[in-house]
Each structure stands twice: as structure tokens, then as C-alpha cells.
Amino acid sequence: MDKKAIIEETEKYYLPVFGRYPMVMELGQGCRVWDNEGNEYVDAFAGIAVNSLGYNHPVLVKAISEQAAKLMHCSNLYYTEIQAKALRVVAEATGMDRIFFANCGAEGNEGAMKLARKYGVSKAPTKYKIISADESFHGRTFDTLAATGHDYYYGPLSPGHVLVPYGDIKALEAQMDDDVCAVLLEPIQGEGGVHVPSDEYLQQVRALCDKHDALLIFDEVQTGVARTGKWFAYMHSGVKPDILTFAKGIGGGFPVAGFAVPERLAHVFKPGDHGGTFGGNPLACAAVYATLTTIKSEGLVDKVAEKGEYFKNELRKLQEKYPDKVTDVRGCGLMLGMEVAGEGKPIVESCLANNVIVNCTAGNVIRIVPPLIISREEIDIVVAALDKALAAC
């Protein structure tokens, strides 16, 4: 099929819920992708921070291929060796003791809130309130929508949710009481505009949760898996959550997610309280094991920290060059945001015209979340495209 036919067929049958660019992606290798017309792009978006090892990484391709030929799916009523291996490496990476595997970030966050509510109501029937932040993003199920700081119009959402400004400890303190079962936060806000809170704020949140016997949940769907230059973003502040959720980069491009807890919360759920047909299937676990062991063996955590600092400094040079157009550069590791004075969409489109893929979030923040394997040369290509875009916009 040619490009026109593919787009028309897709638009005919797919629900119109995505705003797509008129590009048909066909092939990926490393940090490069090609469309079906042969155009090559440097990808600094990585499928929304998903393709942590880039495209076609040989270890990941081999692991998934071999597992697919062996056993793709097995009910969680039975054990598999690959799940045992995946559980161990996730526990080691997260610093937690017990893991639940799901299929997407929303499922991971849903399960985390469900566990927190069971924890709360086991202590008092009114202890089910969950506090989260404005401009957050936690998923698109009804409960995760209720915890997400945006206006959605679906009628009543799940009750018991309260929103407060991100980074405002006084606002959180005003809402905290003994009916709160959990506080759910992103340790760095992603969709909201790559906002990095102070360590002090996260420490104060931890103290408030401890005071009111509420669980602290960190949504590390986007910030996890070496993205910020640590295995997980909470490790920058030293503030350890009670529940940590993960997804996106943990499967290197394969859909897999979940949440992790310490041993003291391991038995809040009893058999039958939670589950899922596909979560932790052998194919997903093979992807997780290959991704995490490769990140470790290739030393990508430290490399991300180094490359992220270089990338941020290059973006700051653009801020100095275009002080009226670039209002802020922020982020951590390879999760960076460049805030611009006007709309970000023209900059994204200009970069695409120069064969570089970036993203705009929150209207005016250019979000950069490339594969963890991006080279300095490729970083320079992205910065050059942004330079051209800023000059033209």
C-alpha cells in the first residue's frame, strides 16, 4: 500500500482519537526511523519514552523472537522461568520486594490505587481519599482519569479523588487528614510540561504521608528505567515511595507495565483481589529481562546522566541565543523540556521538515525523550534542527 492508501484505510476504520502527522513509519534502527517513502529521521521522542534501547536492538529482538518460538502466553495459574527472571531484575532495579505485572501504565496506576484503597479501608471505612496533582497524567481509565489533573467530560468520574497544585506543600497539607489512603505523584511531571520538583518538596510529602498513615505512590511510568540518569527518578531525592508504578521503557517497546511494593504491603491483596489475563506473559517478561539486563550491562544509567547533562547544556545555549523565544530549559537525564514563548507545534513541524522527531506537550513545552542509546552526534543533529526551527518561528 502507498502512503495515501494507508492513511485513508486507517482513517476509515480507526476511531478518531489521535491527532496524527501524515507520516507512515516503516523501519527503525538504533535512534533512526524511516517512513515508507524512504525519509530518515533522528527520533528524539522514542514512541513517548518507550523505545529505551532504540529500534531493533539485537538483544531485545533475539529475546522476543526466541520466546515467541517457545511460549508466547501462559496463564498466571502456572509458573514460568522467564517470569521469575523478570521479577528478580525488576525488584533489583526498583529497590522494591514484590512486583505485579500489567499491560500499560494506566493499569499499573489503577492497581496501585486499588491496593492503596484496600490498605486504607482495612483501617477505617472512610480512609479511601487519594490526593494527586494538577497537570498530572496517570492514565485513561475512569479511576486514573479522576486522578489526572485535566478537565475531561465523561460525566461523574470515580469518587474520592482530590487535586492540588504540584509542588505546593501547603496546598497538600491543607487536604491531608486521616481519611487519605494515598498521595499519587509523578516524581517529575511528564505530560504536564516536564516539571521537576525540589527534593525538599518530595521529602515533605513523604513526611505528611507518614504522619497520616497514607501510602506514597510514585508514578514512574515515564520517569523510570534509567530515563532520568538513575534507575528510577525517586533515587535522585532519596524519597522512597510505598508503591512505584512502571511501564513505557521497561519493555524496550513491548507493552508491559506494573507496580512494585515493599514486603510490608505484599499481603494487602489476597488471591483473587487483583489479576489479569495477559499481565506478566512470557513474551512481555522476555522483553523486560532483556531490556533491564542490557541497560545494566551497557552501563546506560551513567551514560544517560552524562548525555543528558550535555543535551541540557546545548539546549541552554539555544535559550541564550533566543532569549525571547525560549523561556526555560528543565529536566533530568534524557527527559528534557524546552519551554517556548509561543505555541510549540510549529517547532515540532519544523523539526520534522528537517528530519528530526520531537514532541510538544502542555502546549508550549518541547519534550525530548530519546532512546537511551542516543549518541552525542545525534544529540547535535536534534539541537541543530531546534536551532533552525527557533530561527524560523
Closest CA to 307 of 386, 228, 220: 228
Active site residue 137: yes
Burial of 205 per CB tally in 10 Å (0-12, 13-18, 19+): buried
| Grid cell listed for 116 | 492503596
Cα(96)–Cα(241) distance, integer angstroms: 9
Q: Are strands 40-43 and 32-35 parallel, antiparallel or unpaired?
A: antiparallel
Closest CA to 393 of 339, 337, 325, 329: 325
Cα(135)–Cα(209) distance, integer angstroms: 21
Q: Which of 127, 230, 248, 303 is catalytic?
A: 248
Residue at 287: amino acid letter: A
Write out the E strands in 170-296. Answer: 180-185, 215-219, 243-246, 257-261
Cα(34)–Cα(24) distance, integer angstroms: 9
Q: Which of 101, 137, 218, 311 is catalytic?
A: 137
Is 256:246 a contact under the CB 8 Å cutoff? no
Is 330:337 a contact under the CB 8 Å cutoff? yes
Active site residue 248: yes
Closest CA to 218 of 96, 331, 84: 96
Structural element, H or E, at residue 329: strand 326-332
Active site residue 97: no
Q: Which of 219, 254, 269, 311 is catalytic?
A: 219
Structural element, H or E, at residue 210: helix 199-211
Is 296:303 a contact under the CB 8 Å cutoff? no
DSSP 363: T
Which residues, at least 6 apart from 35, have a Cβ–Cβ distance to it below 8 Å? 3, 23, 24, 25, 26, 41
Largest Cα span, the chain: 61
Cα(372)–Cα(57) distance, integer angstroms: 12
Q: State phi, psi for 43 to the nearest 5 degrees.
A: -100, 110
Query: Hey, which residues are catalytic here?
Result: 137, 219, 248
